[in-house]
């Protein structure tokens, strides 16, 4: 399968929304797979910010078998087969649930996946600016944060993206 634009008659065509979407989900998967390879058997939780329809949660539990995966979202709208048990769900605004999770005093996270993008870029920028510092208390040393929006208020080094993922398609950081 070739998700690149292909050898169609006119190579100069704009990216369709289908093209952009395939590129985004393929980048997302490539980054999660890359994170799984980088993390290996280092201990820690996995946090999924934005359960959505549960596709990436399903991928995470496949790539991180046996690990505690906690999901955060405003509401559960996922495929029934892709909903964690209640003990691993934190419902509500991230601004409430993430600090509350930190106060629970659980083990730290070795991976956070934050799929927070929306059509509202201004809203996304505010959320991404808030997110980095808010994550710091729940991250293990050297934890990876993979996200579809750049974290603008932390100076964590950006990780090299996996093959085929262009800068800006997705973002990966290594927390201190």
Residues lying near a copy of itself in the complex (CB under 8 A) are found at: 1-4, 6, 8-9, 13-14, 16-19, 21-23, 25-30, 32-33, 36-37, 54-56, 58-59, 62-63, 79, 81-82, 119, 163-165
Q: Determine the distance from the C-alpha atom of residue 162 to the mean position of all C-alpha atoms in its chain, rounded to a whole number.
A: 15
Nearer to a copy of itself, 63 or 108 (CB): 63
Min dist. Cβ of residue 54 to a copy of itself (A): 7
Continuous segment of H or E residues that includes residue 72: strand 69-73
Min dist. Cβ of residue 59 to a copy of itself (A): 4
Nearer to a copy of itself, 79 or 106 (CB): 79
Name, in order, each residue with C-beta under 8 angstroms of 144's C-beta and a sequence gap of 6 or more.
35, 38, 39, 110, 111, 112, 159, 172, 173, 174, 175
Nearer to a copy of itself, 81 or 86 (CB): 81
Residue 9 CA: distances (Å) to CA of 5, 51, 99: 11, 39, 53
């Amino acid at each position: 399968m070739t998700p690149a634009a292909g050898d169609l008659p006119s190579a100069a065509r704009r990216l369709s929304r289908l093209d952009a979407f395939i590129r985004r989900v393929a980048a997302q998967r490539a980054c999660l797979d890359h994170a799984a390879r980088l993390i290996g058997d280092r201990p820690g939780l996995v946090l999924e910010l934005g359960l959505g329809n549960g596709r990436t949660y399903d991928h995470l539990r496949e790539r991180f078998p046996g690990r505690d995966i906690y999901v955060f979202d405003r509401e559960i709208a996922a495929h029934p087969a892709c909903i964690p048990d209640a003990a691993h769900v934190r419902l509500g605004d991230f601004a409430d649930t993430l600090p509350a999770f930190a106060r629970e005093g659980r083990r730290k996270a070795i991976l956070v996946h934050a799929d927070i993008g929306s059509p509202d870029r201004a809203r996304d920028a505010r959320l991404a600016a808030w997110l980095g510092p808010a994550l710091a208390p729940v991250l293990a040393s050297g934890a990876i944060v993979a996200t579809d929006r750049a974290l603008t208020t932390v100076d964590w080094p950006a990780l090299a993206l996996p093959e085929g993922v262009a800068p800006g398609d997705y973002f990966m950081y290594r927390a201190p």
